[in-house]
Amino acid sequence: MGVTVNLIDTPNANLKYRFIPGELISISDDSSFRFFYPDSVFADYTVVPPKIYTTNPENSKYNQFYNDLSLELYPIYQDQLTYFLGKKDSIIANDNFIYNYLSKNDNFIMQKINDLCTKYQFSEEITSQLLSSILETGKLALSYSYFSICIPKLDSMGILRSKLDQYINKLNQQRISVFSQLDITILIRSIAYQLTQKSMYRIMDKEEISEYFSLIQKLFTKGSISYDYLISSLEVKAKKMKIKLKGTNLNALRKDAKKSVFKKYVQPKYITYAGELNDLPHDKNLYDTHYHSADLSAVVSQFKNKPLLIDFWASWCLPCIKGIPGTINYKIHYPNLNILFISLDKHQDTWKLYLYGHDLMNYMQYRRNYNNQDSLLKQISEIPKYGLLDKNGQIEMFDEISDSLIKKYYERF
């Protein structure tokens, strides 16, 4: 699944990117955009924040819709997270606990969606797709993000597989559209990784493709959404590596991929990234949301002689979550303050699901590489933790911050 976007970020630069439909892409530190359909975009960096000009009015309209909806739903999502972090025992004991609680807001959310669809004059078909993607697929993605808090405990109890099967069954009933593809993709990747403990991204040869296909055949029902997506992606992986699908097992893969419901979406030119990856020791100490490794010192060096607040957090840390709105608020009071979030989550997809579900993708987001023992990150044994970049390029660490501290720091610049 994918959408091609041409980004013209300077008069002489025309870059082509490919995304999953609906993926929130950062154009700059202060600007982001969702692409649902192919587009050519010009980013004007002469104004602050940068202004985005798009040639596809549908993308602009849907972005405004999601921005408006996020303002309405953000308080609900924050309350839900606070609630679920203290309910691990209930989540483990009751298969429907998360879903039933999320469903309490269905009528309110449905009304907001319908009101906005009327405002933007969306067709009945588009309205139906949006309702389905948010109230069904989006809710399932949120449910899984809260459920993932309990994965280690469920695994130790020997019941993780049965719990994941329930999510697979619900996932296989979802309606595929440009609005639901992102959540469907992330969910399938996350669940497949939990079940196989293997990343499709790390497959290196024909034998590994055959082994992974055998796992898919055992774990997922043939012809289901999950199965179809994984085999289509696996076929694309083989084509990118110029591996011919020959032999009894690989012939079966090729035949099943031809019948996949995703065949019309998944093509080599559209593929972005697949599966949850493993942190690697030779990678740099941070990962961005696309699993590209980055160096903390290089990221920080961009803000030389500029005020920078670093928030070290994790999606499983309740005090961290409660503090995020306050961190974001400092940007309102101190407009030139730069904010960088560094997550201590151990799993890429769990982290990204939280970011997507709580509209945090439009901030600078990185995650710690746990196989690269950076000296600064090793010092962080507890979170939340905060860092302030001084004029000498050094990061001063704090257990907590306050408005008076930020005000005093901000006035130095």
Residue 41 counted as domain residue? yes
Same domain, 96 and 193: yes
* CATH classification at residue 368: 3.40.30.10
Same domain, 66 and 196: yes
How far is Cα 220 from Cα 161, in angstroms, rounded to an integer?
12
pLDDT at 6: 53
Residue 188 counted as domain residue? yes
Residue 367 domain boundaries? 286-410
Residue 277 counted as domain residue? no
Same domain, 87 and 227: yes
Residue 9 counted as domain residue? yes
| CA 373, chain centre distance (Å) | 24
Same domain, 66 and 42: no
pLDDT at 188: 93
pLDDT at 380: 83
Same domain, 205 and 136: yes
pLDDT at 270: 36
Same domain, 44 and 82: no
Residue 276 counted as domain residue? no
Same domain, 291 and 362: yes
Where among 16, 39, 55 does a domain terminate? 55
For 275-301, how does the pLDDT look when each residue is reduced to its tens digit (9 = 90+)?
345 677 777 889 887 777 888 999 999
Confidence at 50, pLDDT banded by 50, 70, 90: low
Taking residues 231-254, report their average pLDDT.
Answer: 89
Q: How many domains does the chain have?
A: 3
Residue 275 counted as domain residue? no
